[in-house]
Structure formats: structure tokens, C-alpha cells
Chains A and B, each alone.
Chain A
Amino acid sequence: MPAIITPNKTEQERKRRVEDHDNGAGRRPPTDKRTGGGGDNDNWNERPHGRRGPYERLHRYRMGIFFALASDLMFFVAIVSTFFVNQSTGHFDAYNHYVNEWLPTTIPPILWLNTVVLLLSSGTIEFARRNMFRETDVMDEWLGLGKPITRRALPWLSATIGLGVLFLTGQWIAWRQLARQHVFFKTNQSSHFFYLITGVHAIHLFLGIAALLAAFTGLYVSRQLENRQILVDGAAWYWHAMGLLWLFLFTLLVFFQ
């Protein structure tokens, strides 16, 4: 067990944000690992790494995003189950023959490229995210030695935004290509789903890019390190989830139509 730095009396009596159980973003180094009460009568020192003291608020936001993503997952599960139901439904035609008119939509090849782009962007955002938590940099910032974190994370974040826009452009090109072959949203059952799934996913990516832009401005504007960490971390997890979801949806569109 690591040594516990017992806070001295003056520090204990300073004004604290009780609701946050003191998130440590104030005067003490943000990497400090102290014990504290996190419910369940537990000792933070006994918790796994990264689950201690100062990251309270970060973890709260992360948890919120995870719940939101769980809910979002159900949204897509509903759409995908509709996909399977619709795919297997046919009807009786005028001659009493059972017909299933499902005509799979050919996937524009550019989607493969887009997938690679999205995967790359997941990598870049992960670098940005990790850079937010490098301990030496965090200490430097806290000591007032410039903004090394921002310096390190910004290029990765910008790259992610670029790749995200590239992906959306790629999707748009894919829709245009389909439209040139006269496959529209209305055309047939499988095109309903192709446009619906890619479209809804694209809306999610728009929101993701908005979050990345917010993180981007946050890196410039916010003086509190913790806020910046939260912004980048939240955007990153959301972005990862959208990447994963795309893999799943893309597999569905390519192999299960």
C-alpha cells in the first residue's frame, strides 16, 4: 500500500466543494492520491489505480457518458432488429405466391475507405486522451510551466476532427454514388435501412464532432486542467463508441444484407 499523505489541519478546513468530496482540482497537485470517502465506507487507497481522489468529477462525467451510450446502444439495437424483421418479411402477391422482395443494396466501395478513416480517428483521439493524463505534464501545468498538455493533445485532437470530417464527407460521397444509381431512401426496403443506418450514425458523428470542437475550444479557453481533461476524455469515449458502433453497423450492411 502506498504511503498516505495525511492532509494537515489548515488544508482540511479550507472551503471545500462538499458535494464533490473535494475533487483535488484546487491547490494540491491534481495527481495526488489521497484517501477519502467515496461511499461504501471504503478507502480510496484500496481502489485500483486511477480510481482515486482527484478524478472524482472526471469519473462522474465518464459514467454519465457511459449510461448515455448504453441507452444509445438500445436505440441502435431497436433499429437493427427492425432490419432483421423487415429483411425476413415477405408477402403474398396477386397470384398467392410468397415473395420476399429484399434487394440488398450494394455497398459503395468508398465505405471501406471511410471505415479505415474512422478507425484511424479512433487511434488519434486515444492519443489525445492519453496525453491529457501524462503525469509529468500534469505536474508541469500545475506548477505553471506553460501548457504542455494542450500542446501535446491539440495536434491529435485536430487530426481527429479532420478525420471525422473526412469520414462524413466520405459518407456523403457514398450517398451521392448511390443516388447516381437511382438508389434513394425511398427506393426499396434495404435502401431504407442503408440510408437510415448510415444517416443516424452520421448524425451521431456530427454530435461527436461538435463535442470534439468543444474540447478543442476548451483546450484553449479553460484554465482548469480538470475541465480540459473531462472535455477530451468525454469526447474520446463517445468517439470510440461511435467507431465501434460503425464497425458493427458496417459489418451488418456488408455481410448480413
Chain B
Amino acid sequence: MTPHSNVPPTRSHGPRKLTPKPHPILSRIFSTDHRTIGIQYLILALVSVIIGTTLSLLMRIHLVWPDWPLPLHGLILPEDYLALVTIHGTVMLFFVLTTAPQAGFGNLILPAQIGARTMAFPGLNAASFWLTAIALITLLCSTFAPGGAAISGWTAYPPLSAVPSAGPGQALGMDLWLASIALFAIASTASSINTLTTILRNRCPGMTWERLPLTVWGWFTAALLSIIAFSVLLAAILLLFCDRHAGTSFFLPNGDLVNGVLHQGGNGSPLLWLHLFWFFGHPEVYIAILPGMGLTSMLLANFSHRRVFAYRTMIVTTLLIGLLGILLWGHHMFVAGLNPFASSAFSISTMAIALPAAAKVLSWLATTWRSRPSYKTPMLFALGFVSLFITGGLTGPILAQPILDEYLHNTFFVVAHFHLIMAMAGIFGLYAATYYWFPLLTATRSHPGRLLSEPLGHLHFWCTLIGAYAVFLPMHLTGLAGEPRHYAQLTGIPGPGGSLSPAGALLSHTLPLNRFITYAAFFLAAGQLLFLINLARTLYKGNFASSNPWQATTLEWHPTMNPFTPSSASDTSEISVHRMPCHYQSNKVEISFLPQWAPVSFAQGEIANATDSKPE
């Protein structure tokens, strides 16, 4: 299908002349070009994911071999373990799964998919990126803060996080953590304003709302959630900061006695932070997954040569998931001291979200149903996304029943739930995007884009899929057996008289399974090296791709959207859109596709009526 060759095709025109700029390197680093910014976001996410994965492996090692001394550091102390968990969660959730799909691919692909040549506010875009980078640096610096890194988890519940005396890491480390998240919130809001305005204002002629690819709908909904949620987080952080440094007590109750330090006079409520945080926190996890859902829909259709099943319903469910996503934050607080009636209300709204999610799953199943897809690596990762989303999603409604959450809350069952649906499905979405759009990421003015190696990609997919299930399925079992989260150690918890305490007995019960999980985590992480090898190899000497290697129908594959184009973009006439995406037609012998940008041709219109409605 794709003509592979290692020789860049010759261009009809010479390379475009660049307007001279004062500092070529500076202007490339501080570029306002959305493609450059997108790549910068992806590099930031890649750096973060390597850090986050290393931390997760250290956590896994410490859980099963608590006596292992970390080279250059020594024993991992309990506070070190909690710092690892905190930084792992923060880095992964904020700096990987919020930046890469939403800001990274949102910059690289979104404008092209709606036929725009730029984002609405290029300057703001660059500012958001650099703010995000500063936020990451701040977070990493917090690990070297005197007194240690923050240890209160990514949820930072006060008073633990509000009182520097509450333990190690709650002084400067916590301040830096809060500052980092505040910067991140501002950057994400700015970048979402940019995304929303771009989608609303910069669509090319003919790109109606209905014709927007589902990926764009994912980015759109996620951006809407971002502008609602992140500013609430920012306000909460401001209040917490005042509590820490300005003597207020928004989150500190009266007579709180932490480590011998008495806080008198306040009348705050720690639960208030939980409300504000989860009002942000729950939409945040949907921000992480919505672009992946959209992409999965599009990829399944692309490689199945089918239309997306129930396209309009998919648009509606995307918006519905966004809407419901703002209304159910309380399901993280069933046993946190909420009124039991409120728990019931949140439980019902949470169960309701299973329906739009299930509608999405149904559409994915129906799109691939009896389609004989071509199993390219992006397709495999999209199928993996479906599988992991189902597996991780089905435990959601279990957690959403307060009576069951009373047993499962803060056990590894929850950890398993969110790693499957968020971490693993999210990572699969990212990989699908990377393998699929790689030609667009690597195209430059002097050569066309390259394709990642398919055999290595297949191997990588299978290792990651098997690894993901091997790590996170058993976690459900240790969770059911009662293993709580955030436990620095499962063994050696003494009881009275030197014997094993009941708690120690309960926890050490899960050790064999935990050992297996740790081995599997190593396998999973090692599998990711295949991707890095593939990446390095391809960047160096990968096959060049044709301008539309996957027979895609969406606009980012329009020949002039690629930087390697015969004529410069601003010389071509405007792009216009003529139909919904994923217009595939098949008859017995061949499959043809009609890109969104191609003007209607009479003959093909007739084929559409003649085929695809009759079997065989």
C-alpha cells in the first residue's frame, strides 16, 4: 500500500526560502509555530514518562524488598516511598496524560484536522508551553528541597498538606509542589482557551460541527472541562497557600493539634478541600482520556474501512461524559465524612456515566464488527485501548456503589481501576497517536515523514498489552484482600509481643502476588524500551511515508498540511471540506475512500449507493 523507500522523493520546487531571523536557534526554541510547540510538549511528556516510570519501579521494588538500598541514596524510608508515590502520580497524571494528548497532539494535529493553518493565539500557545516546562522543573526541584519532597499524594489532603509540622516534606517541598501545580493550572487554562478558540473560529469552509472528527470533539470537550476545572484548583491552591503562610484557616479546623503545634481560632473544614479538589480531580481524569476516546473511534474506523458507527451519538456521548464528569466528584468522598444522602446522590450520577461510556464501547465494537481490519500498529493500540477501557471501566460502577466503596476505598482495587482505565488506556491512546501520526511528526521541509517500524511496533504492542494486564489485574486481588494504598511497607509490621500483628498478617498475605506484580512491572517497563529503540532507529533511518499512508480521510493528511509539500501552504488555495470523516466504500474486490477534502465526484457518489448495503 505504501511505497517504502529510503530515498526522499525529490520535490518539484526548491526548498522554501526562510525569512531571516536574528537568532536561528533561539527563535526555533521559543517558536510560536504550533507544530514545534506540539513536539516540545511531546518531548516534555516523554521525559516525564521516563521519570514517572523509574519512580514507579522504585515503588514496586520497595513494596516487596523493603530492605533494598537504592544506590546513591540508601534505604528507601517511608517518607521516601510516599514522596515517590506523590511525584509518580503528579508527573504521570499532569505532565504526561494531560500534556501529551491534549496539548501535544492537540497542537500537532488539531489545527490540521479542522483545516486551519495556525492556532488562534500562537504567542499564548508558546507561553503555555514554557509555563508548563517551568512547572515541571519546579516539581522536580521540589524533590531536592530541604526537608524532602511533598508526601501527601497527588490529592494533597489538608491538614497534612496545610501544616508544615505535619511531617517531612510538608514544608518547602509542599510549597514547591503547590507552586508547580498552580503554574500547571494556569498553563493548561491558557492552552485550553487557545484550543477552544481555534476550534470555534479557525475551521475551514465546510467544516461543520457534524463533520468535525471525533478527535476534535475529544479535544474540545476536554478543553471545556479544563477551563472549568483548573481555575477551581487554582483557587483551592491559593486558599491552601494562605493557610500555610498567611495565618488563615480555610481548611484548618478549630483546635487542630499537629505534632504538638496547636492551631486555635480557625473554623475551616478539611472536607472543603476535598470538594474543591475533586471538583477539579474528576474532570481532570476525563481530560486525560477524552482525546484518546476520540482517536480510538477514528482509528478503528480508518483501519476497518468503515464509517464510525453512530457518529452523532458519539458526539453526544463525548459531550455527555464531559457534562456528567463535572457532576460526580463526590464519588471520591463516599467515606470521607459526607452526608450519607449526598453519597447516594453522587452514586447515582456516577452510575449514570456508565451509559455514555457503554455507548462508546458499543460503537467501537460495532465499527469493527466483521470488518476484517488491517492490523497496523496504530490499529492494534486502538484495539488495546478498547480492551483496557472496558476492563478498567467495569470496575468503575463497582466503586460507585457507596456500600462497596466502603470496603474498596483506598485499597489497591482502586489503584487497579485507575491504572487500567487511565494509565494504561491513556498510554495506549498515546501510542496509537504516535504510531499513527508519526509521519506527520517527522515531516520537515526537506524530507517527508517517516513510519515507525511495523514489526517492532507489533512486538511492542504485545509486550505492553500483556504487561499491562499482568501488572494491574492482580492488583484487583490484592485490593480485595485488603491491601491499602500508600503503604510504604507490607511486611515487618510488629504486633504485641513480637508476633505478627493482625494487620501484619493481613498485609503479608498479599506478598506473593505483589512479588509477581513487581516482576510484571519490570517486564512492562522493559517492553517500553522497544518503543524507544523503534523511535531512535526510525528517526535515524526509518522508511519514508507517502503523503497519506493509512488511507485516512481526515484533513491532517491533506497533502498541503504536511510541511514537505510541493508548494508552500500559503500559496495553495483554501482547503474546504465536503463530507463527514471516514467515508469508506467497499465492494467485493476493493476498498475505496473519499477524503473529507476531495470534492464530490459523481461516479463515487453512485458507488456509495450501489455498494456496502448488500452483503458479499
Residues in chain A within 8 A of chain B (CB atoms): 15-19, 21, 37-41, 56, 59-61, 63-64, 67-68, 70-72, 74-79, 82, 85-86, 89-91, 100-102, 185-186, 188-189, 192, 196, 200
- List, sorted by A's number, 17 A–B pairs whose CB atoms are closer than 8 Å: A15-B570, A17-B570, A18-B574, A19-B118, A21-B574, A38-B205, A39-B205, A39-B206, A67-B197, A67-B227, A71-B230, A74-B232, A85-B272, A91-B254, A186-B246, A189-B249, A196-B242
State whether A37 touches B236 (Cβ < 8 A).
Answer: no
- Chain A neighbourhood of B253, CB < 8 A: 91
Residues in chain B within 8 A of chain A (CB atoms): 116-118, 120-121, 124, 189-190, 192-194, 196-197, 200-209, 227-232, 234-236, 238-239, 242, 246-250, 253-255, 265-269, 272, 276, 279, 569-570, 574, 576
State whether B228 touches A63 (Cβ < 8 A).
Answer: no
State the CA gap A91–B256 with chains docked (Å).
11
- Chain B neighbourhood of A200, CB < 8 A: 238
If the complex has contacts A19-B117, A91-B253, A186-B247, are A40 and B209 also in contact, measured as CB distance less than 8 A? Answer: yes
State whether A71 touches B189 (Cβ < 8 A).
Answer: yes
- Chain A neighbourhood of B250, CB < 8 A: 82, 86, 192
State whether B116 touches A67 (Cβ < 8 A).
Answer: no
| Minimal Cβ-Cβ distance residue in A for B243 | A192
If the complex has contacts A59-B201, A74-B232, are A82 and B239 also in contact, measured as CB distance less than 8 A? Answer: yes
| Minimal Cβ-Cβ distance residue in A for B212 | A39
State whether B121 touches A64 (Cβ < 8 A).
Answer: yes
> What DSSP secondary structure best describes chain A's contact surface?
helix
| Minimal Cβ-Cβ distance residue in A for B569 | A18
User: Among A16, A39, A91, A186, which residue has its beta carbon within 8 angstroms of that of B255?
Assistant: A91
State the CA gap A192–B245 with chains docked (Å).
13
The 4 closest A-B CB pairs, nearest first, are A37-B205, A39-B203, A78-B235, A19-B117
If the complex has contacts A18-B569, A19-B116, A67-B196, are A75 and B246 also in contact, measured as CB distance less than 8 A? Answer: no
- Chain B neighbourhood of A63, CB < 8 A: 196-197, 200-201
What distance in Å separates the Cβ of B35 from its nearest Cβ neighbour in chain A?
A: 13
- Chain B neighbourhood of A75, CB < 8 A: 231-232, 234-235
What distance in Å separates the Cβ of A83 from its nearest Cβ neighbour in chain B?
A: 10
What distance in Å separates the Cβ of B228 from its nearest Cβ neighbour in chain A?
A: 5
State whether B231 touches A74 (Cβ < 8 A).
Answer: yes
What distance in Å separates the Cβ of A249 from its nearest Cβ neighbour in chain B?
A: 14
User: Among A79, A86, A188, which residue has its beta carbon within 8 angstroms of that of B235?
Assistant: A79
State the CA gap A72–B117 with chains docked (Å).
29
- Chain A neighbourhood of B234, CB < 8 A: 75
- Chain A neighbourhood of B196, CB < 8 A: 63, 67
- Chain A neighbourhood of B576, CB < 8 A: 37
- Chain A neighbourhood of B227, CB < 8 A: 67, 70-71, 74
State the CA gap A68–B189 with chains docked (Å).
8
State the CA gap A101–B120 with chains docked (Å).
50
State the CA gap A40–B207 with chains docked (Å).
6
State whether B267 touches A101 (Cβ < 8 A).
Answer: yes
What distance in Å separates the Cβ of B117 from its nearest Cβ neighbour in chain A?
A: 4
State whether A185 touches B120 (Cβ < 8 A).
Answer: no
| Minimal Cβ-Cβ distance residue in A for B248 | A192
- Chain B neighbourhood of A64, CB < 8 A: 120-121, 124, 193-194, 197
State whether B116 touches A79 (Cβ < 8 A).
Answer: no
What distance in Å separates the Cβ of A50 from its nearest Cβ neighbour in chain B?
A: 15
User: Among A18, A79, A101, which residue has its beta carbon within 8 angstroms of that of B570?
Assistant: A18
User: Among A16, A61, A192, which residue has its beta carbon within 8 angstroms of that of B242?
Assistant: A192
- Chain B neighbourhood of A67, CB < 8 A: 192-193, 196-197, 227
State whether A185 touches B246 (Cβ < 8 A).
Answer: yes
| Minimal Cβ-Cβ distance residue in A for B195 | A67
State whether A85 touches B269 (Cβ < 8 A).
Answer: yes
If A82-B272, A185-B247 are given as contacts, then 8 extra A-B residue pairs at C-beta distance below 8 Å, sorted by A number, are A15-B570, A19-B116, A21-B574, A39-B205, A60-B202, A72-B231, A79-B235, A192-B250
State whether A60 touches B197 (Cβ < 8 A).
Answer: yes
State the CA gap A16–B569 with chains docked (Å).
11
State whether B269 touches A89 (Cβ < 8 A).
Answer: yes
State whether B266 touches A39 (Cβ < 8 A).
Answer: no
State the CA gap A59–B232 with chains docked (Å).
27
State the CA gap A210–B209 with chains docked (Å).
37
